[in-house]
Every structure is written in structure tokens, then in C-alpha cells.
A and B are shown apart, each in its own frame.
Chain A
Amino acid sequence: MDTIGQLSHGLAVALTPENILWAFLGALVGTLIGVLPGLGPTAGMALLVPLSVGLEPASAVIMIAAIYYGAMYGGSTTAILMNVPGEVSSVVTALDGYAMARQGRGGAALAIAAIGSFAAGLVSILLLVVLAPLIAPLALSFGPLELCALTVLALVAAVNLAGRSPARGLLSCGLGLLIAMVGSDPVTGEGRFTFGSVELLAGIGFIPVVVGLFAISEILVAAESGAASIYEGRLARLYPSRDELRRSVGPIARGSLLGFVLGLIPGLSPAAASFTAYDVERRISRSPERFGKGAIEGVASPEAANNSAVGGGLVPLLTLGIPTSPTIAVLLGAFLVHGVTPGPLIFSEHPDVAWPFIASMFVGNVILVLLNLPLVRIWARIVSVPYAVILPVILLVSFIGVYSVNSRGFDVVVMLVFGFCGYGMRRARVPLAPMVLALVIAPIIESSFRQSLSLGGGSVLVFGRSPLALGLLGVALILLWTGLRSRRRAAVAAAVEEDF
């Protein structure tokens, strides 16, 4: 049977009432998990895999996959409405999404996030079906040199989020990398920067850091502002205008393609895809000054990229049996629990699971958009709830999200410390988002950096051995240079305007 025929057969299985129900439940639970900060897709899927043991293998993986993309979408809801990212890849969505919410346009941001996620989901599944056999070997050609260069490129993209001061972006990135250094050395296992603390040996988790930086600092900033609610005006239009929809088409298309390609790279999380997509969009925009102040493109592109990265990450899993991220590793676990081993033989040995799984992602994305677009009307009204009610809710959700991951009071203390640090950083105009990306990709950049230097006997000239790594580092340098130049020009222009 050819690919189209197998996909049609898979679609028929995925469209049975029983599997539609599991996909619906998965999307619903995933959305709720994504909304709760801390309990991201990895932890949520890991908690729910044991519950799927009694199901048919196809139904089980359909439900687990639905939890995954439901959580990816759900994470953006609180990021847009409360500046509380439900998971790391939503951090960049909060930049413009929350700015839109503060202008009473939270509904439009949520709707674009839902539409972007839906479109990107479809694009990435199509690419998964068509390109999987061709692209998978290319992804595997990434060694430590290329991976290190790619992560440097992702960090440069994050530095460029720093508005007019790349120095502050670099500082934020550096601090994120420093936080990630705390704990056991990944190679030798000896403690670094733990100062004798047993708790610090396990490292500082990114969930308490992210929740502290964004949610707790948001409580402090919001209370200080003296406003009664996030948005005090009348919510005029809850859905995007025709012009906003038109302006989102390009960013969604570009974010989908970029997210899919970056999702293929082992170790590169969807967060890196959303950061890079945001940076690309701002660079090619005719009015980059709107970004960070409520640009619809700043919501559309990263949302599309992080959802598309999910499809990209499935290529190495399904064709080679290699998980490219912790979440995909949990998905691999779900397959294994049901006696299905992903790899080159999955399509011949288990077509009854593999094709319904892929087809169910079409169905699941439709369910997700049907589920979430009507909810936009309800969610969007959260911005009008008085701060006196919403701030304790943010504090409560943050506390539960952080504590429930490891059941450790220490994580709550870390959240508080970084909450106060985040407040200080916002006052000092040091951007928070680059710090988060640096924290997430620090283990990859450190291990690939050390492996690369070991290959070269300690010399950085080793990067010259790989044309791809050299090319990526060259692109990173060019981006950094053009970023610095454009900001210098903007600063000069602003000074000239002030003089006149």
C-alpha cells in the first residue's frame, strides 16, 4: 500500500468514535496541563502514560500525543493573559501576547495562537509524512561541532530580543548559563557552585526559575502599577480583525517551516524554535519597533514554530527511534509500554499503530482549534477580573505548579528568589526571555562545546573542520553584527528626533 493509502487507512482508524473521544480527552487534559505553570507537556505526559496501559496501543498513543500538542497550546493561554508562561516555549509568546492583552486585545492574541498552532500542526504533519525519509539522515549528521554552533545561533537570536541594548541581552543570556552551571558536572558528576548544599547538587530546575521570573515578578509589578485590572477599558473585539489575520499568514507559514526544521535537530527544544522564529519575524518586519508592544506577528510566528517543532521532532522518533527532546522521550516510552518499538521497521511491523497515530494528529489539531476558539470569549475576559482576585490566583497557580513537580519546598524558595530577581531585572531593563532560553539550552551547549574542544585537543580551531558549523557560526556573527548596527542606528535616530 502506498503512503496515501496507508494514511487514509490510519485516518479511518483515528476517526472511529472511540479514538476521537481519546483525542478529545487528551487535547482537553493537555490544554489544562499547559495552562498550569510548571506541569508542562513532559511531566503531564509522564504522569498520564501509566493511565493509558489498559487502552488499545493505537488509542493510547493517540491520547498521549493529544496531551502533548494540547499542552503546547495551553501554555500560551496564561502567557498571553497573565504573562505567566505555562511552559518554556510560551515565554516568547508572552512578549507580544501579554502586551496585546493589556491593550484589550487578548482575545485576538488567543485566537491567532489557536489558528497558528492549528495551521502549523497541519503543515508539520504533512511535512512529516512527505519528508520524513529524506530529512531524518540529515538530522543525524549533526555532531557536537554543528550542535554547538547551532545553539550559539539560537543564543544570538535570544540576545536580539533585548530591544535597544544587546549588552543587556548578553547579560541575561550569561546569567541564564550561569544558573545552569549550578549542580553536578554532566561528565564527572562532581558538584559545581553548590557551596556544600545538597539541594543544589541536583541543579536549579528551570520551572521554578521561569515561574519566579515571570509570574512572581508580574505580581510585584502589577501591584505597584496601581491599576485595578490587567485591562481597564471595554473589551471591544474578541477576535482578530481581517487585517490582523492577513498579517499573520506570512509569520505562521514561516514559523511552521522554521519550527519543523529546527524540531528535527536532536536536543533543540521547541523553545529554541519559537525564539528563533520570533527573531526572524522581527528582522524581516518593516516596522520592527512594534515587536514587544503588541505585534500580532510576534504571537503568530512563535506559536506556529513551537507547534511545528513537535512534528519535526517526530521524524527522528518514527524513522530512527531516536527521541530529540525529553517530551519525545516520554512519547517513545508510551510506544514501548504498548509493545511498539519506533524505528525504521515501525511502518512495516506496526502500521496499525503508526499510521493512525500520524492521522490522529490531523484530527487532534481540528479538535484543539474547535475546543479553544469558542473558549477565547471566556478566557479573554480574565483580563478584566480585578487584580485583587487575579493576583492571588497567579500566586496560587505558581505555587502549585512549582511544588507539584518534585514535591520540594526548596523549589518554592527558588521560585521566590528568582521572582525578586526578576522584579529587579525588569526594573533594570534587563530582558528575562534570553535568560530562560539560555537556561534551557545550557546543558546542550556545554556538552557539545566540551566534546568539540576535546575533539580538537582544546583548540577552538576545531570548528573549522566542519563547513556546516563554520557556516552557522558565521550566520550567528552576522546576525549579532547587524543587530548591533541596527540598534546603533535606531539610537542615533532617536537622539536626532529628541534634538529636534
Chain B
Amino acid sequence: MTSQARDLVTGVAAVVVGGVVAVIAATIPNTTGTAVGPGAFPLVVGVAVVLAGLAVAVPALRRGNGGEEEEEDEGGGKPLPTRLVLPAGIAAFCAVALTVSLTIASGAAFCLCCRYMAGYRWPRSALIGLAGAAVVHLVFRSLLDVPLPGDMVL
């Protein structure tokens, strides 16, 4: 995506968000009996976000009319599916840690990162994963007794 298109998307998104907030804020009834109700401050902030969004989008539109665009390399040129793997992996880590076991999720995260980011072989990655899981269990559960989501397995 070009920087111009990105600024345009950012600005328009801000205008939409700010506008929605301002509209909702304007409909919040004032039940306080004073001149200023619960919707006053969100209304001011919503309008400010709309103005800031316009200030980002309008120069991008002007740049676009000038016909100059710069291509920017994002994500090291990696294809979209590859770039979605990590966010999905982070979400999966949190889901497993919350529902099954933080220890297991940590071991898997160490193992998979070593395998696919550092290019280590599976046995070495698995060993690092096991060591990581053991450290997490010892430090956070046994030693510090940090309140963590219920370990169903360990």
C-alpha cells in the first residue's frame, strides 16, 4: 500500500469512528440536572477525532491529485498468508493459555519459534520448548504462585 493510500484509510477511519462517537454522545441523555451531562466530553472528543482524521486524510488526497506516489515495502515483501501466521499464532497462544495450560502454551511457543524463526532442527527446538515450559512452571506457578488461568493439565 502506498503512503498516500494508507493516510487516506487512516484519516477516513478516524472520521468514521469520531463521527459515530459524536452521534452516540449527542444522544446520551443528561440526567445530572447540571448544564453538562455525560455526553458532553465524548462529544468534544468525537469532534476532535473527526478533525484530526480530516487533517490526515485531506493532505493525502491532495498528494494523490498531484499524481506522486511512493511504493513502500511492508512486511519484508512477505505474502499476506505468511504475515497472518504470527498474529494467528499469538491469538492461539492466548487461547491455549487461557483454556488449557500456560505451561503447555509456553513450551509450544518456544519450540515453534525456534523451529520456524531461527531454523533450528526439531529435536533442538523441542528441547528448548521443554526447558521453557519447565522454567515457566517452576518460576510462575511453583515459586511465585502468580494467579494464572487454571492449568487443566498441569
Contacts and interface: CB of A to CB of B under 8 A. Distances in A.
Interface of A: 165, 167-168, 170-171, 174-175, 177-178, 181, 185, 187-188, 190, 192-193, 216, 219-220, 223-226, 228, 386-389, 391-392, 395-396, 399-400, 403-404, 407, 409, 412-413, 415-416, 419-420, 423, 427-430, 445-446, 449-450, 453-454, 456-458
Contact of B21 (A193, A396, A404): A193
Interface string B18-45: 1001001000100110111011111011
A385 to B, nearest CB: 11
A146 B49 CA distance: 24
B146 A400 contact: yes
B46 to A, nearest CB: 7
B32 A187 contact: yes
Given A388-B114, A395-B93, A403-B148, A188 B56 contact: no
A453 B31 CA distance: 16
B86 A225 contact: no
B90 A171 contact: no
Contact of B36 (A192, A388, A453): A453
Contacts of B118: 228, 386-389
Contacts of A386: 117-118
Contact of B32 (A188, A224, A389, A429): A188
Q: Is the interface of A mostly helix, strand, loop or mixed?
A: helix
B71 interface: no
Given A187-B32, A389-B114, A395-B90, A225 B147 contact: no
A420 B9 CA distance: 16
Given A404-B147, A404-B148, A450-B40, A178 B56 contact: no
A397 to B, nearest CB: 10
A396 B136 contact: yes
Contacts of A175: 14, 17, 49
Interface string B98-135: 10001000100110011001101000000010001000
Contact of B106 (A185, A392, A458): A392
A224 B78 contact: yes
Contacts of A413: 94
B41 A181 contact: yes
20 contacts: A167-B52, A168-B52, A170-B52, A171-B10, A174-B49, A175-B49, A219-B86, A219-B90, A224-B74, A388-B117, A392-B106, A395-B93, A396-B109, A400-B146, A403-B98, A404-B147, A407-B147, A428-B9, A446-B41, A449-B36
A391 B55 contact: no
A167 B55 contact: yes
B67 interface: no
B31 A178 contact: no
Contacts of A419: 90
Contacts of B41: 181, 445-446, 449-450
Nearest to B51: A170
B36 A174 contact: no
B81 interface: no
Contacts of B79: none
Given A225-B76, A392-B109, A428-B10, A403 B149 contact: yes
